[in-house]
Amino acid sequence: MLDFVWGALTMACVTAAFLFFRFWRLTSERLLLFFALAFCAFALNYAALFATEPNLESHHYIYLLRLIAFGLIIAGILDKNRRSR
């Protein structure tokens, strides 16, 4: 059952990334590009969790993808706030 959930989360993140990429192409707003890249990182995270056994202590590096994704979101928000001044 957990594999099904990770697959569904991967699909949802890929769909969100495609939507953000599409809106970025229409508006050229860099915040949307940061969000698209973040959702790609989330999708890679869930796909990696599906492909490996996440309960092993040696697989903690998979969660670095999630950290990168949150970092991209924060960087996008900071970039948006600094450019608007």
Q: Which domain holds residue 60?
A: 2-83
pLDDT digits (tens, 9 = 90+) for 18-77: 999 999 999 999 999 999 999 999 999 999 888 887 676 567 788 898 999 999 999 999
Residue 84 DSSP label: T
Asked if residue 84 has pLDDT above 70, the reply is no
Residue 51: predicted pLDDT: 85
pTM of this structure: 0.87
Residue 1: predicted pLDDT: 80
d(C-alpha 71, C-alpha 69), whole Å: 5
Residue 67: predicted pLDDT: 93
Residue 49: predicted pLDDT: 85
DSSP string, 47-69: HHHHHS-TTSGGGGGGGHHHHHH
Number of domains in the chain: 1
